[in-house]
Amino acid sequence: MKNLLLLLIKMYWRMIHPSKRRKCIFRTSCSKHVYEKTAEEGFISGLKALKYRFKNCRSGAGIIEHPTGEIYIILPNRRILNEPEISERFIKNKNQ
């Protein structure tokens, strides 16, 4: 099953051009994160990562700029991401 999930992710990467993919709010893309989790920790861990990312990499996240200038994103599950975890495009857009 692990190899099947890894194969599906590789097919996604080959078949869907990066410009056509949905933009991820996380610094490490959802597909890359799930691929790494699956390869390193196994199928169940990969499925858990997929479920978490699918639920939280959707609309409903809120961007907050702290008075110190740091940027945070609050995910739909109420988890707070700090700058090292946030996609660089959100940080660049916020600073412009």
CB-CB contact of 13 with 75 (8 Å): no
The whole-angstrom separation of Cα 35 and Cα 31 is 6
Q: Sorting pLDDT into bands at 50, 70 and 90, what band is 90?
A: confident
Q: What is the pLDDT of residue 95?
A: 56
pLDDT in tens, 16-47: 998 888 888 888 999 999 999 999 999 999 99
Q: Is the pLDDT of residue 96 over 80?
A: no
Higher pLDDT residue, 92 or 48?
48
Higher pLDDT residue, 63 or 91?
63
